[in-house]
Amino acid sequence: MNSSIEDPISGTQTFKASMRAQWDIAAAGWDAHIADISAWLRKPTDAMCCMAGVRAGDRVLDVAAGSGDQTLVVAQEVGAQGYVLATDLSPAIVALARDNATRFGFAQVETRVADGEDLGVREASFDAAVCRLGLMFFPDPLQGLREIHRALRPGGGVCTMVFSRPEKNPCVTILMSTALKHAGLPARDPFLPGGLLSLGQPGRIDALFRSAGFDDVATTALDAVFHLPTVDHYLAFVRSSASPILQILGRLDAAEAEAAWREMRERLMAFTTRDGWEGPNELLLTAARKHKEAT
Ligand X SMILES: C[S@@+](CC[C@H](N)C(=O)[O-])C[C@H]1O[C@@H](n2cnc3c(N)ncnc32)[C@H](O)[C@@H]1O
Binding-residue pattern over the window 125 to 144 for ligand X, x denoting contact by CB under 6 A: -------xxx--xx------
User: Measured from the CB atom, is 67 or 219 closer to ligand X?
Assistant: 67
* Nearer to ligand X among residue 66 and residue 157 (C-beta): 66
Q: Is the dihedral of CA 256, 237, 84, 97 positive or negative?
A: positive
Backbone angles phi, psi at 248, to 5 degrees: -65, -45
Instruction: Please state, in angstroms and rounded to a whole number, the distance separating the CA atoms of residues 106 and 177.
Output: 41
Please tell me whether residue 90 binds ligand X under the rule CB under 6 A: yes
Binding of residue 244 to ligand X (CB under 6 A): no
Site stretch for ligand X (CB under 6 A), options 63-71, 169-177, 255-263, 266-274: 63-71
**Residue number with CB closer to ligand X (37 or 101):** 37
Residue 95 φ then ψ, to 5°:
-60, -40
Q: Which residue of this chain has its Cβ atom nearest to ligand X in the complex?
A: 66
Pick between residue 65 and residue 159 the one whose CB is nearest to ligand X. Answer: 65
Q: Are 56 and 82 in contact (CB under 8 A)?
A: yes
Considering only 111-119, 219-227, 244-252, 279-287, which stretch makes contact with ligand X by CB under 6 A? 111-119
Q: Which H or E run includes 76?
A: helix 69-78
* Residue 135 contacts residue 160 (beta carbons within 8 Å): yes
Q: What is the dihedral of CA 32, 35, 40, 46, to 10 degrees?
A: 120
Task: Name which of 57 and 250 has its Cβ closer to ligand X.
Answer: 250
Backbone angles phi, psi at 35, to 5 degrees: -65, -40
Nearest approach in angstroms of CB 240 to ligand X is 13
Cβ neighbours for 104, distance < 8 A, ≥ 6 positions apart: 72, 75
CA atoms lying within 13 Å on the CB side of residue 85:
21
Using CB under 6 A as the binding rule, whether residue 96 contacts ligand X is answered as no
Task: Return the number of the residue (108 or 111) whose C-beta is nearest ligand X.
Answer: 111
How many residues in the shown chain lie near ligand X by CB under 6 A? 21
Which position among 47, 48, 65, 72 is part of the footprint of ligand X (CB under 6 A)? 65
Contact (CB, 8 A) for 282 and 164:
yes
70 is a contact residue toward ligand X (CB under 6 A): yes
281 touches ligand X by CB under 6 A: no
Q: Does 31 participate in binding ligand X (rule CB under 6 A)?
A: no
Chain positions contacting ligand X, by CB under 6 A = 16, 19, 23, 37, 64-66, 69-70, 88-90, 93, 115-117, 132-134, 137-138
